[in-house]
Amino acid sequence: MTTAETTPAKTTTTTTTEPTERTTEPVTHPALPVATGRQSAAELWRAVRAHRSEALVVLLLTLLASAGVVAGPLLLGSLVDVVREGATTGELLALLAVTAAAVLFGAVFTALALRAMERLGARISADLRERVLARALAVEPKVLERVGVGDVASRVTEDVEHFVAAVPLVSSVFGAVVTVVVSALGFASLDYRLALAFCAVFPVYALALRSYLPKAGPLYAAERRDAAERGRVLLESLHGLPTVRAYDMQELQAKRVEVASERNVSTALRALKTVLRFSVSMNAAEAVGLSALLLTGYLLVTSGEVTVGAVTAAALLFHRLFGPLGMLLMSFDDMQRAGSALARVVGVLLTPQEPERAPRSPRGPVSLTAQGVRHSYDTGREVLHGVDLEVPAGTSLAVVGASGAGKTTLAAILGGVFPATQGQVRLVDDGGPVPVGELDQDGLRDWVGVVSQETHVFAGPLRDDVLFSAPGSTDEQVRDALAAVGADAWVRALPQGLDTRVGAGEHPLTASQVQQLALARLVLRDPPVVVLDEATAEAGSSGARDLERAAEAAVRGRTAIVVAHRLTQAKACDRIAVVDAGRVVELGTHDELVALGGRYATLWAAWSQR
Ligand SMILES: Nc1ncnc2c1ncn2[C@@H]1O[C@H](COP(=O)(O)OP(=O)(O)OP(=O)(O)O)[C@@H](O)[C@H]1O
């Protein structure tokens, strides 16, 4: 657990424009890796092996179900032969009873196999989701900063959902494959020539697939894109209703919606036509297969090599396969889509791991030094141009400067939220200096606590929201931490005190209360160094004063870097660094800088006159 209040809001969040539309993904934007087919298959295999016994049960049930399915036509074939040979009623009834039992057997085991498969699928999906989420949460800050939160989020949510949604399909495909294999054995048990005749169906299926697949993918993609576009135009019209009315744009917007709908309908119809053409080709394949089978059967029966019953059984078996074979072919496209979602999900697991580092806890007072810190975001423009700083143990340094000067970037780098493009940030304790980048994220939070402008309230009891920075703390410790940042009074006044549920849709908290919670987490974790970059300005003036007091309490007795959005905060710090256009241009105590008559003095004069 960490006291860091997530990564700064300004990390790049641009990512896929259309979640289900892989083809529109901007290829130039850096992203997490995407797994190859082999890597995805290996991951699936690993997941199946983790549930080995359940997977074996599924295989066994599916085999039994398929055996039942194949036994029906074979027994009916024998029935034909028995009738032709003039069997007694008793023999006939016995065979009929066995056939009925086989059909029942097949139905029962098909249902059992489906249930077992669904259960296994749900387990595998849950495992995958957990593993991917755990891995995504541990993505190295520098990787996250490069690829953006959006890419990770879309993989953990939409791509996992697409894969999970495809699990029943995967189960059915597996069942169909087993049925086809067992049926092939059934054919072989009748006569190998009948089995060969059955195989005539495959080249025709292959030709149909070859013409269908290249068209289907782009058509479905276009259909989704057009549907999204129609939705966008529709939403835009509704959101901008006042403007639409004010400028009398109703007709224009209606026309836009109409054009978008027409395009969507026309692509949907083209997609439907392609599917229909494919179904016709499949029917043709079945007709070819059945004709080949019956012709071969006729020749074999007339030459006395097989019985009429065997040919009947083969024809029924083939007919019984239309369903599974059709299902396999029609799901090719969906399987491809599920496969690409899985490749992106597995890609998260392939993201380089943080190297294992020996844990190192702080010993004694900790100071912080920065040397030659330079930083460029994705845009390539350098925003920090070689910053050197030293914050002795137990002292505080305020960072002030105009908007866009680089304060947040500097604070994030000093707090180890992400690494600088160049330069070193070191923590120095009694054991000597440790580069911030050499501590893993969890270990780092024993040294440095960060409260950024991006604070978040997690849904659940308020206690948990404070507690996650130092799990295992007692209620008394939580209350003390809240009291230290001046939050005890309003927390006590909540309907259920610490048990009050906060977060989205629950008890609302003000912006400054949320910030106070963030500071309370930090106090509870009790790191020797703190980096505060809070949004005090957004709390309103009385809220800002409360927050200033809360921040002072959090800073007390620690080595602190405070991005001061209000100059009273700066004045309260031991020293002040003025940042301008990515450089520290003034450094000293409040009095020294005021006496210097430079940039800080001007800022202070303006502030004092407010
Ligand atoms: N994620 C990002 N990607 C690209 N550029 C960024 C990113 N975050 C910040 N910048 C740019 O870096 C420069 C420094 O920004 P930074 O937020 O560090 O300044 P600041 O002094 O904290 O500003 P403010 O007081 O407005 O928060 C700015 O030009 C900003 O546009």
In sequence order, which residues have a C-beta less than 8 Å from that of residue 286 and are 6 or more positions away? 201, 322
407 C-alpha to center of ligand 1: Å?
8
Beta bridge partners of 578: 400, 586
Nearest CA to ligand 1 atom 28: 404
Q: What is the pLDDT of residue 374?
A: 96
* Nearest-atom index, ligand 1, CA of 412: 18
Distance of CA 393 to the CA centre of its chain: 41
Nearest CA to ligand 1 atom 26: 403
pLDDT in tens, 574-587: 999 999 999 999 99
Pocket test of ligand 1: the residue of 14, 147, 408, 580 to mutate, having most ligand atoms within 8 Å of its CB, is: 408
Q: What is the pLDDT of residue 35?
A: 86
The answer, yes or no, to whether residue 168 has pLDDT greater than 80, is no
Pocket test of ligand 1: the residue of 12, 377, 603 to mutate, having most ligand atoms within 8 Å of its CB, is: 377
CB 578 within 8 A of CB 586: yes
Average pLDDT, the chain: 83
Residue type, 39: Q
378 C-alpha to center of ligand 1: Å?
12
- Comparing CA positions, the residue from 69, 97, 89, 92 lying closest to residue 79 is 92
371 C-alpha to center of ligand 1: Å?
20
Q: What average pLDDT does range 445-454 have in this prediction?
A: 86
Q: Any idea which residue has 């593993």 for tokens? A: 131
Q: What average pLDDT does range 66-92 have in this prediction?
A: 86
Pocket of ligand 1 (CB under 6 A): 10-12, 377-379, 383, 401, 403-409
Which of 330-344, 483-497, 580-594 is the least confident region?
330-344
Does residue 366 sit in helix, strand or coil? coil
> Which DSSP state fits 537?
G
Beta bridge partners of 127: none
pLDDT in tens, 197-239: 888 888 888 888 888 878 877 777 777 777 777 877 787 778 7
Residue type, 510: T
Nearest CA to ligand 1 atom 17: 408
pLDDT in tens, 509-530: 888 888 888 999 999 999 999 9
Q: What is the pLDDT of residue 204?
A: 85
ipTM above 0.95, yes or no: yes
Pocket test of ligand 1: the residue of 11, 142, 147, 407 to mutate, having most ligand atoms within 8 Å of its CB, is: 407
* Nearest-atom index, ligand 1, CA of 579: 21
Nearest CA to ligand 1 atom 16: 406
Tokens of 358: 């020996």
* Nearest-atom index, ligand 1, CA of 410: 18
Q: Any idea which residue has 């925003």 for tokens? A: 383
Helix 332-350 / helix 89-137 crossing angle, nearest 10 deg: 30
Which pLDDT band, with edges at 50, 70 and 90, does 366 fall under? Answer: very high
Distance CA 376, CA 310 (A): 76
398 C-alpha to center of ligand 1: Å?
18
Q: What is the pLDDT of residue 9?
A: 32
Residue type, 363: R
Q: What is the pLDDT of residue 488?
A: 87
Tokens of 559: 């080595």
Tell whether the torsion through CA atoms of 474, 475, 478 and 483 is positive or negative: negative
Q: What average pLDDT does range 433-440 have in this prediction?
A: 87
581 C-alpha to center of ligand 1: Å?
10
The answer, yes or no, to whether residue 151 has pLDDT greater than 80, is no
454 C-alpha to center of ligand 1: Å?
14
Nearest CA to ligand 1 atom 5: 377
Q: What is the pLDDT of residue 214?
A: 81
> Which DSSP state fits 384?
E
* Nearest-atom index, ligand 1, CA of 10: 1
Distance CA 195, CA 192 (A): 5
375 C-alpha to center of ligand 1: Å?
11
CB 534 within 8 A of CB 560: no
> Which DSSP state fits 356?
P
305 C-alpha to center of ligand 1: Å?
85
The answer, yes or no, to whether residue 21 has pLDDT greater than 80, is no
Nearest CA to ligand 1 atom 14: 406
Q: What average pLDDT does range 427-448 have in this prediction?
A: 88
351 C-alpha to center of ligand 1: Å?
27
The answer, yes or no, to whether residue 6 has pLDDT greater than 60, is no
**Exposure on the CB side of residue 312, measured as CA atoms within 13 A:** 16
537 C-alpha to center of ligand 1: Å?
17
Q: What is the DSSP string of 546-607?
A: HHHHHHHHHHTTSEEEEE-SSHHHHHTSSEEEEEETTEEEEEE-HHHHHHHTSHHHHHHHHH
* Nearest-atom index, ligand 1, CA of 12: 1
Nearest CA to ligand 1 atom 7: 10
Share of the chain above pLDDT 70, in %: 91
406 C-alpha to center of ligand 1: Å?
6
9 C-alpha to center of ligand 1: Å?
10
